[in-house]
Amino acid sequence: MAIPGNAVERRSFTFPQVAVALQTLAILFQAGTAGLLLSTTYGETLHGVGARVMYGASMLYLLAAVLAWRPGGGPARPVLHATGFLVLASVQVVLGIAHAPAAHVPLGVLMFGLSVLDLGRSLSAAARRGR
């Protein structure tokens, strides 16, 4: 039985929104596996797999941003954000391979914060357009 005035709206998400959400979740997963890396024998394996997923998610976000911009006629700013994330992810991989936690950990925290901000920006912009 439907309650009048409380219609449930279906919300669809764009490819760039899904891609940046996946990137954010992958970076959060990396924070969890970093703790496991220090305390378990299987943490290194999980962190290595998570690193590949996070890097792939950053590439997917760049692809989604370019596809939304060029053929889709969307803004170019997300392409710049996605490119910056891919550069940061590349630096993060190099620092991880070099076993430089003094730079690797703070950069990971920065990347998570920036990714959350970018996801929030993307969702709030979509909410403003939907009004």
Residue 62 in any domain: the answer is yes
Tell me, rounded to whole angstroms, the distance of Cα 86 from its chain centroid. Answer: 10
Phi-psi region of 73 (alpha: psi -120 to 50; beta: other; left: phi over 0): left
- Residue 3 counted as domain residue: no
Does some domain include residue 42? Answer: yes
Q: Which domain holds residue 25?
A: 15-126
Residue in the block written with tokens 């003094």: 102
Residue 4 within a domain: no
**Residue 7 counted as domain residue:** no
Mean pLDDT of the chain: 89
Q: How many CA atoms lie within 13 A of 47 on its CB side?
A: 22
53 domain-assigned: yes
Tell me, yes or no, if the pTM score tops 0.95.
no
Q: Domain count of the chain?
A: 1
Query: Of 30-44, 50-64, 101-115, where does mean pLDDT reach its minimum?
Result: 30-44
109 has pLDDT over 70: yes
Residue 109 belongs to a domain: yes
Is the pLDDT at 70 greater than 60? The verdict is yes
Continuous segment of H or E residues that includes residue 50:
helix 43-69
Question: Does the pLDDT value for residue 8 go beyond 60?
Answer: no
CB atoms within 10 A of CB 81: 20
6 within some domain: no
